[in-house]
Every structure is written in structure tokens, then in C-alpha cells.
Amino acid sequence: MTNLILKNKTALITGASGAIGSSIAKKLSSLGANLVITGTNKKKIDDLKKKLGPNCEGLIADLSKTEDIQNLYNQSIKKFKSIDILVNNAGINKDSLSIRMSKNEWDEVININLSSAFKLSQLSIKSMIKKKWGRIIGISSIIGIGGNIGQSNYAASKAGMIALHKSLALEFASRGVTANCIAPGFIESPMTEALSDEQKEMMLKKIPVGSVGKPEDIANCVAFLTDEKASFITGSTININGGMLMV
């Protein structure tokens, strides 16, 4: 029987309709957490909510809009009274070489990937401080550490997430709140499934363990960071990439 270590705790997970986000939601639900899952795909959020049961609230939000972020927070608090765990997982990419990148391509990626993480953290920390316990976990990326051609906006947003969570860690460690990031590498998803066999083979050659990661690899790390066993870990970035980038 699973140890319900997160019973009576509430987790808010952004980007929950994606492969990694839904896997995180399932994992934290299995540990007894109340969940608020959010995304922009109503059908996927509704389907996931049905699977997770009555202790899950599914909300649609456009994280590029401050009013949607505020509403998401308000509804979460109304439903479950507090946010104990915040998983800043939502992310988009709008790839283009820097010289050709439009203002909108830059702004949209920074707003959703980075600014929304700050705004939600700023709001959620209030209830964490009251309970003298909290976990803020940002899903960054290997790209935020190593950069990538055609992804200057995405790389900047994911590197910014790491710096943001370090600052949050410093500011709120004395209040019982930890803040950490996870930087996934090449993870199984509908996006990776769409790659040709040749593209997959080229990618696998760069991964020493010889396989791509699974969404569960990220979810298991999130679960660990919420555990009391991880209470001395804050301001860290855990790289999950099969050895693709060793830092």
C-alpha cells in the first residue's frame, strides 16, 4: 500500500495536460495530495480530473494573463484553503534563430515559462508561510543550462527559472519553504514520438545511458522533493538527462 505522505496537502500543477505534467499529477495524487491541475486544453484537463477523482480540481487558465493567474490562485484557495506544493511546469516554445525572432515569439515564451512561475510563486508563498511549510518546484530544462540553436527565448526562460527558484530558496528558507528546479533532458512525449527514426537515433547517440527518459522519471523526482527526506535540499537544480549534459 502506498504511503500517503502528502495527505492533507494541496499541490497546484501548471501545464498538467502535457506528458510530464500529467505524470506529476498522477504521482502526487497517489501520495494522497489534493490537486489543482491547470492547462489550456479543456478536454485533457477534464479527462485527467476524472482519472484522479474527487480530490482533484481542474481549471483552465491562460498563464500569459495576470488575471487568469490571480483567478487560478483564488479558486485553488477557495477549494482547498491552501497551496502547499507549487509545481511550475507550464511551458511553450516558439523557436527561431535570434536574428529572426519576433517580439511576440520572445514575449510569449518569457511570459508563460518564466513570468507566470514568478507570479504564481509570489501568490502561493503566502499560504506556505502561514503553515510554515511549502515546496516550490520548477521544471526547467537541459536547454536552460546548455542553450540551443534557435531557442534563445526558451533557453533564457528556463535559465531564468533556475535563478528565480534560487532566489525564492534564499528568501523563504527560514519560513520552512524550499524551492528547487528539475532540468529534464530528452523525455518521452508526443513531441518526441513525432521525430523520425533517424532523428531519434542521432539523439540517442548523445545520451550515455542509451535511452530517452520517461515522464515518470521527472514525477518521481518531484515526489522526492516534496518529502520530508528532502527538507535540507533547497536552491538546487537536479539534472535528469541520462548523462547527456553533466554539470
How far, CA to CA in Å, does 219 sit from each of 163, 165, 199, 223? 22, 18, 26, 6
Catalytic residue flag (residue 73): no
Query: CA 165, CA 86: separation in Å to the nearest integer?
Result: 12
Question: What's the CA gap between 31 and 26, in Å, rounded?
Answer: 9
Judged by DSSP in three states, 37 sits in strand
C-alpha cell at 104: 511576440
Which residue in the list 73, 80, 133, 154 is annotated as catalytic?
A: 154
Residue with grid cell 497551496, as numbered in its chain:
83
CA 165, CA 137: separation in Å to the nearest integer? 8
Q: For the chain, what's the residue count? A: 247
Q: In this structure, is the dihedral angle defined by the CA atoms of residues 152, 153, 155 and 160, taken in order, positive or negative?
A: positive
| Residue 203 · residue 193 · CB < 8 Å | no
Closest CA to 134 of 1, 4, 3, 12: 12
By the 10 Å C-beta count (0-12 exposed, 13-18 middle, 19+ buried), 214 is classed as middle
| Residues belonging to the active site | 154
